[in-house]
Structure 1
Amino acid sequence: MVSLPKYLKQSDRELENKFRFIQHQEDARIRDATMDPSNSKWTFGVSIDDSNRYRNRYVNIMPYEKNRVKLNVYNGNDYMNASYVKVNVSGQTMKPGFYIATQGPTERTWDQFWQMCYQNYSENDSNDSVVIVMVTPLVEYNREKCYQYWPRGGSSDSIRIAEKVQDPGEDDVSEFEHALKIEYANSRRYDDCYTLTTMRLVPVDESGEELGPAKTVHHFYFDQWRDMSKPEEVIPIMKLCQHSHSLNKAGNPIIVHCSAGVGRSGTFIALDHMLHDTEDFKIDAEQKMSSGGQMVGSPLHPDKGYDHDLIEQIVLQLRAQRLKMVQMSDQYKFIYHAAKYMYQHPPH
């Protein structure tokens, strides 16, 4: 008999009530930021400045000022629509989760995205790697959801990212220390669910000469998840979590984006942290074996001393760091469904 944590025994109605509570809390934060933007801890700061309007893919999704990612520029605008996200649930988290949640790059922001990728990892570590998880198709219903910002084929396929980024027709510029070059290495499709593309990201001068350590980029493109919806199946998204997490270096953020960087991105982050870094989903390495060599019972054991709802606590933390993380009630309920699936079909 599988022993489930209490929070995985709730009805859909109970989960929908909790989701409404989470939404009401966010509504209160938005009111506070709107009524007193100068003093509110929830202010959106420069993200709502008119000068940054083209840097936001959607007019209603902006980062909180308190934890926005600031581009390391030596001149000009440091804004991009991205948020540092940390997850640490008291009594459950074994290792704090560290992520960057961001919108899907646009034709006018893709170069800033790559500068952010390089800057948020150790500049002196030649063995460092960047993990990017993209959980959106490029196009849905003939509408762009994300710009094609990475090279996808050919051994010599590469893209140069200029050190000075200025939007045509706009009095807006970001100047960086170096230009960058992103080079395609290889790609592989996994289970017809996601594509892993390996690339090389390196600073270069005007002639193309390399100036510093290169970073290996692991780009996961999961194109089976439509906007404003939950994943169709549990197993593919679990495989994506496991694979991307396994390639991330301890202490580095995993960069996650969909189109707006909230609904699907938040759902992925909640699943990833829950499955890899919490007590209730820790695999029992000392599980007993039967005389026939089979494991006895489940390798997952809920912490009986934990009286809260782990998933609710994770999503509450996500929502306090970026708007609309886990945007839809179906996405919220899917996390519980996936968690229950893990208890009923645990890894051995």
Structure 2
Amino acid sequence: MDLSRFRRTKKAPASPASSPPAIVLPDSPSDKSMSPAKADPPPTRRESPPTPPPLLTIPMPMTPRSDSGSKSPFRRGFHPFRQTQKRARSPAQATFSLPATPVTGGPMSIVDSDKSLPMAGDQPGDNTTQGNPKPLTMPAFLNLSYQEIESKFLDLNWAERFRINEAMSNPSPRYRFARVFGPEIKNRDRYGNIQPWANNRVKLQVPEGKTDYINASPIVLQSPINPEGKPPHRYIAMQGPKAGTAEHVWRMVIEQLQSPAVIVMLTETHEGGVEKCYPYFPRMVDETWQVGENDEFGDGFRAEIKCVSVEEHANGAIEARQIMVHVEGREDMTVWHLLYRKWPDFGVPALGDLESFFELMRLSREKNATEDNPRIIHCSAGVGRSGTFIALEHLMREIDSGDIDKREPIAHPNPDIDNDDIIYKTVDALREQRKLMVQAEPQYHFLYHVLRQHWLEKHGLMEQDMQEPAAKRLEVDDYDPFI
């Protein structure tokens, strides 16, 4: 028998022309692209027009295997896959490789036969009758391969491109995805191609004839599984303010939020020598700033903001500032400003920093007045890191509540509905409210991986407890894809 036809041949590297078209819109991987290009020195002639905001590109750096530093905490979960000397191949365009999640012959993964099976009736809050418990199964969307997740991200990008193309061809201001226009608006944008949708933006309460624009979008997310049983999550996603828009932030806080309010800041003011966010808040205790001294809008608005205290949490990963806001004629307002310092400009939080990331979510909820009070979430452009934070917190609730395990995967005749991917649906819903939320592919993969690990941890399982065919096993002895 001629066995030559069964020999594996090396695949030729994909040419750039064969790669799926990238959205030329905003951001880069995980706010990576959020690094605005350095502008040339301004000309000396005073009559030169102001330079428009820079556009964002999406660089696709590759992480070499030789650069793998310390091992991430999730390495323990992949040791059982060292059964073969073959390695899973990662798509060429990924900025970092995530291991393909275990794939089984069916839509759900199953627990190893020599392990005791958790039963759905054993889970807290499960309404399954004790007389008829059912084996616990992992939701299908948490068991997708790397390539399947990558394909879904491309689908999201095409849907976004379609929305933007429709907006460009539809001049009606009432169109759902209408664009914002105007020279004053461009001057307030940090990046020239990231703006809120015209019909879903926060409007400053200013006198008629004044520009009410601020680069911020109200976000409302209903539970994808039990919308009637859970209140919606409410946020305001905004860009990192510029020097000329810093006072607009405090005006928005006073107009839109109740006391105590919460601002979550996911970027440092400068990263890589580039300004990502103007320092719009007092850093030191007893430091006091005046807002509205130049009466920009001609309505006499004045406010005083004062840093009352500074606390550190999670070994310095979080700086929590209590800020008092005083406006004449109104009650004083408390604002908690939470600065997270462990999210790198060119990546996602390291797995070793996840506990501090979850602590940030918990603090932001505890210090907020009510669930109905929106929390302001921002990074640099307000789409990459901000969208990832919002999506992850929103979807973790579905796992924590147990609702994700109560779904009946065969209850509906339409298999697409049986296996709804709530991560995909949530990110799509976010992008319908603000462009490019969860902008970069590594951030999108990050959602699947963290939610999968969260589901396993909730049920006391580890990766080695999940079966997978030998052809899909990974060997990761000397390579940590999360470094």
Shorter-normalised TM range: 0.7 to 0.9
Aligned residues between the structures: 310
Q: Secondary structure of 1:69's match? A: coil
> RMSD value over aligned CA atoms?
2.1
Partner of 1:321: 433
Partner of 2:313: 190
Partner of 1:132: 263
- Encode CA deviations 1:228-260: one digit per residue, 9 max, x unaligned: 522222322222112212222221101000000
**Structure 1 residue aligned with 2:448, among 333, 336, 344?**
336
Structure 2 distance, partners of 1:87, 1:317, is 8
**Structure 1 residue aligned with 2:335, among 191, 199, 217?**
217
Partner of 1:159: 289
Q: CA deviation at 1:283?
A: 5.5
Structure 1 distance, partners of 2:252, 2:376, is 10
**Structure 2 residue aligned with 1:85, among 215, 219, 225?**
219
- Encode CA deviations 1:310-336: one digit per residue, 9 max, x unaligned: 111110100101111000011011111
Partner of 1:28: 162
Q: CA deviation at 1:187?
A: 1.1
Q: Equivalent pairs: percent with the same residue?
A: 32
Tell me if structure 2 keeps the 8 A contact 1:229–1:328: no
**Structure 2 residue aligned with 1:200, among 314, 324, 327?**
324
Which gives a bigger RCO, structure 1 or 2 (Cα 8 Å, sep 6+)? 2
Q: Secondary structure of 1:65's match? A: coil
Structure 2 distance, partners of 1:250, 1:58, is 31
Q: Secondary structure of 1:345's match? A: helix
Structure 2 distance, partners of 1:26, 1:176, is 39
Q: 1:347 to 1:246 in 2, by over 3 A?
A: farther
Partner of 2:372: 251
Q: 1:72 to 1:261 in 2, by over 3 A?
A: same
Q: CA deviation at 1:151?
A: 0.9
- Encode CA deviations 1:39-72: one digit per residue, 9 max, x unaligned: 5321113xx3112221101001001011100001
**Structure 2 residue aligned with 1:281, among 400, 416, 427?**
400
Q: Secondary structure of 2:267's match? A: coil
Q: What is the 5 A alignment of 1:46-61?
A: 48-61=181-194
Tell me if structure 1 keeps the 8 A contact 2:292–2:300: no
One-letter identity of the residue aligned with 2:281: W
Q: Which runs of 4+ in 1 moved over 4 A?
A: none
Structure 1 distance, partners of 2:279, 2:141, is 40
Tell me if structure 2 keeps the 8 A contact 1:84–1:98: yes
Q: CA deviation at 1:89?
A: 4.1
Q: Secondary structure of 1:71's match? A: coil
Larger radius of gyration: 2
Q: CA deviation at 1:5?
A: 1.6
TM-score by length of 2: 0.61
Partner of 1:63: 196
Structure 1 distance, partners of 2:438, 2:406, is 24
Q: Secondary structure of 1:265's match? A: helix
Q: 1:176 to 1:71 in 2, by over 3 A?
A: farther
Structure 2 distance, partners of 1:268, 1:35, is 32
TM-score by length of 1: 0.84
One-letter identity of the residue aligned with 2:407: D
Tell me if structure 1 keeps the 8 A contact 2:319–2:338: yes
Partner of 2:392: 271
1:310 paired with 2:434, answer no
Structure 1 distance, partners of 2:374, 2:279, is 22
Q: What is the 5 A alignment of 1:90-129?
A: 90-93=224-227, 94-122=230-258, 128-129=259-260
One-letter identity of the residue aligned with 1:223: R
**Structure 2 residue aligned with 1:235, among 329, 344, 355?**
355
Structure number having the greater strand percentage = 1
Q: Which runs of 5+ in 1 are unaligned?
A: 123-127, 167-173, 205-210, 285-299
Structure 1 distance, partners of 2:381, 2:324, is 26
Q: 1:4 to 1:51 in 2, by over 3 A?
A: same
